[in-house]
């Protein structure tokens, strides 16, 4: 059965590119337009990996990661940040919040797939 990936980004264009890349590789994808919607989606349906932006309205990526890590079913689920934020301080905050990895936009589709396959159980 295909692994399900939740992609959370306020940019419809980024969600579309990520979804296309992942679906072409055989993954199932569910989308959310911000952290609050992402959290609701993750609570309503189990996903195998979360791919989130940092800068979004209503709930940013770090807050989403902390909220997911507080949920028993997401304690060990891989969570990747896909963001324009590339600073070491932000990456450290991501690790502290519980991010599994970090990818910087614009992303290379093959690199995204390589990282996703590496962290999925």
Q: In whole angstroms, what is the distance from residue 101 CA to residue 29 CA?
A: 19
Domains annotated for the chain, with CATH where assigned, are 4-119 (3.40.50.2300)
pLDDT digits (tens, 9 = 90+) for 22-77: 999 999 999 999 999 999 999 999 999 999 999 999 999 999 999 999 999 999 99
Q: In whole angstroms, what is the distance from residue 31 CA to residue 16 CA?
A: 9
* Cβ burial 51-89 (10 Å sphere, 16+ → b, else e): bbbbebeebbbbbbbebbbeeeebeebbbbbbbebeeee
Dihedral of the alpha carbons of 27, 30, 36, 41, in degrees to the nearest 10:
-100
**Total-model pTM:** 0.95
């Amino acid at each position: 059965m295909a692994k399900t990936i939740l992609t959370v980004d306020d940019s419809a264009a980024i969600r579309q590119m990520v979804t296309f890349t992942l679906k072409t590789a055989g993954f199932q994808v569910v989308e959310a337009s911000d952290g609050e919607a992402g959290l609701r989606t993750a609570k309503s349906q189990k996903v195998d990996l979360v791919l989130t932006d940092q800068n979004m309205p209503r709930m940013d990526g770090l807050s989403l990661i902390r909220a997911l890590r507080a949920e028993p079913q997401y304690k060990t689920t891989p969570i990747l940040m896909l963001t324009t934020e590339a600073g070491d301080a932000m990456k450290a905050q991501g690790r502290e919040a519980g991010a599994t990895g970090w990818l910087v936009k614009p992303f290379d589709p093959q690199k995204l797939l390589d990282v996703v396959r590496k962290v999925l159980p």
